Structure 1
Amino acid sequence: MTTTPSQGVGLGMPQLPAPAYPDDVRARLEADGREIIARYPDSRSALLPLLHLVQSEEGHVTRTGQRFCAEMLDLTTAEVAAVATFYSMYRRGPSGDYQVGVCTNTLCAVMGGDAIFEALQDHLGVGNGGTTEDGKVTLEHIECNAACDFAPVVMVNWEFFDNQTVASAKSLVDDLRAGTPVDPTRGAPLCTFKDTARILAGFPDEREGAVEASGSAGPASLIGLRLAKGETQAPRVVHPRGEGGGEGSGESRQSRSSAEHLSSHDAPQDTSASDPSNPAGPVAEEGE
């Protein structure tokens, strides 16, 4: 079967050509697109940020946006579509101003993420990936976002809302739909999904306070980073549950032996690489 540009494949249904952007929109996107492409030695490498750029225009990656990316990078629309449909951060259809993602991976799930997701589906009247009738909120369950020490976590346009409950999550989406300002637990101030997409395309984040935003990962997540930087910290004594360690036990936590129940994460351990008196030589081959 010969397929013309306006002919579909498979069912043989005709497809209308993708509409073009208005001239003023096209000119603006071309200027932004050239800026993005100039960052890369190989223009094809600019495809991912270009997809974020066109998503910032319409809120999802349309056929028009895919054709624009193809023309800017001298690719086929099939090559662009293959990438746009692979990554979940590129939306394939209209979605809300606020993408509300509930982590349902293991720790968040058992800490209440599953209950939050089910409650929000009932509360908003949408399923996974569904958007409210007012176009404000799209709900989805998401994979781990490396914030396990704040489980259960909800993300709105990739900003963190930590230690959520069913009640707080319902209040959060109600405020989003009502236009009531909400502040992420940490990180930059919240903005719309289109604005988020433009930032992900690599353009400056102009939100007031975005650079100075406070908050970070919790202590458990930062131990490896601190050790890598050569920072040290006092050993943490971990007592079996139910035993002493409280203020009323007559023995303060600081006065206990640092060798008692040390967590292996608290300080580097002696190894053959760090103990000159016990070097590890090369392993002898059998028969030597």
Structure 2
Amino acid sequence: MTKPQAIDVMEPTNENLPREKFEELEAFINSLPTTKSALIEILHKAQNIFGYLPRDVQLFIARKLGIPGAEVFGVVSFYSYFTTKPKGKHTISVCMGTACFVKGADKIMERLKEKLGIESNGITPDGLFGLKDVRCIGTCGMAPVMMIDDKVFGRVREEDLDTILESYRRKEILV
């Protein structure tokens, strides 16, 4: 049996996660008057900093708090707000409920997959868009419906998709 290798808590093992973000998270944790009962608050801050909670971030938090990594993972996996996978800057949700499906939501989803070059639950290589199918958005009278972030698009047609996507791409250029 080999001896486990010691890892500096400031040294991320995933080179895609910037050290500066770990430093920002550590500064936040150190600024708390107490870390007792602060795990959820720390996880929210970490997800805000990193955009998601990969294994390295969870282990970093566990080490900083002196708790088992399994405890951190248990909280992350229990609450639906937390995600362990990167999300696109803009989340596109296509309603696949009965009304939307009957009105062509499946065709909208297929066209988006084609245009973005990703599958459902994927993100574009540039990180701009994430795509997911959802069961119901609650606006059946406007079927088929999709949302980008918190904005609802009703009565969506395949020919509308280029204009909608381009408006979000333009916003990124202006920022």
* TM-score, length basis structure 1: 0.46
The verdict on how the C-alpha distance between 1:26 and 1:56 changes in structure 2, with shifts beyond 3 A counting, is: same
User: For the Cα contact (< 8 Å) 2:29–2:42, is it kept in 1?
Assistant: no
> What pairs with 1:117-132 in structure 2 (closer than 5 Å)?
117-132=109-124
Question: 1:17-32 counterparts in 2 under 5 A?
Answer: 19=12, 22-28=22-28, 30-31=30-31
Aligned-pair CA distance for 1:130 = 1.8
**What is the identity percentage for the equivalent residue pairs of Structure 1 and Structure 2?**
29
Output one character per residue of 1:109-158: Cα deviation in whole Å (capped at 9) or x when no partner: 22222111111001111111222222211111123233333332222224
Matched-pair contact (CA < 8 Å) for 1:61–1:93? yes
Listed as ranges, the matches of 1:61-210 within 5 Å are 61-70=53-62, 75-87=67-79, 89-179=81-171
**Residue pair 1:120, 1:170 contacting (<8 A) in 2 also:** no
Distance 1:30 1:109 in 2: 49
Q: 2:43 aligns with which of 35, 51, 54?
A: 51
Deviation at residue 57 of structure 1 after TM alignment: 0.8
Change (3 A) 1:70 1:89: same
3-state secondary structure, aligned to 2:144: coil
Greater relative contact order: 1 or 2 (C-alpha under 8 angstroms, separation 6 or more)?
A: 2
Residue segments in structure 1 that go unaligned for 5+ positions in a row: 7-14, 182-288
Post-superposition CA distance 1:177-210 (Å, at most 9, x none): 33369xxxxxxxxxxxxxxxxxxxxxxxxxxxxx
**Matches of 1:154 and 1:30, distance apart in 2:** 41
Please provide the CA RMSD for this pair: 3.6
Aligned partner of residue 127 in structure 1, secondary structure? coil
Alignment-derived partner of residue 206 in structure 1: none
For structure 2, the 5+ residue unaligned runs are 13-18
Bigger radius of gyration: 1
SS of match in other structure, 1:126: coil
Deviation at 1:27, TM superposition (A): 0.9
Evaluate the alpha carbon distance shift between residue 3 and residue 152 of structure 1 in structure 2; reply closer, same or farther with a 3 A threshold: farther
- Residues 53 and 84 in structure 2, CA contact (< 8 A), matched pair in contact too: yes
Q: Distance in 1 between matches of 2:126 and 2:112?
A: 16
Counterpart CA distance in 1 for 2:145 and 2:134 is 10
Q: Which amino acid aligns with 1:150?
A: M
TM-score (ref. length: structure 2): 0.70
Quote the residue 2:15 is aligned against. none
1:59-80 CA-partner distances (Å, limit 9, x unpaired): 1112343235446766422122
- The Cα shift of 1:24 comes to 4.2
Structure 1's 147 and 133: CA in aligned 2 closer, same or farther, altered over 3 A? same
Higher strand share: 2
Are the structure 2 counterparts of residues 65 and 130 from structure 1 closer, same or farther at C-alpha, using a change threshold of 3 Å?
same
Structure 2 contact 25–45 (Cα < 8 Å) conserved: no
CA–CA distance in 2 between the matches of 1:74 and 1:150?
50
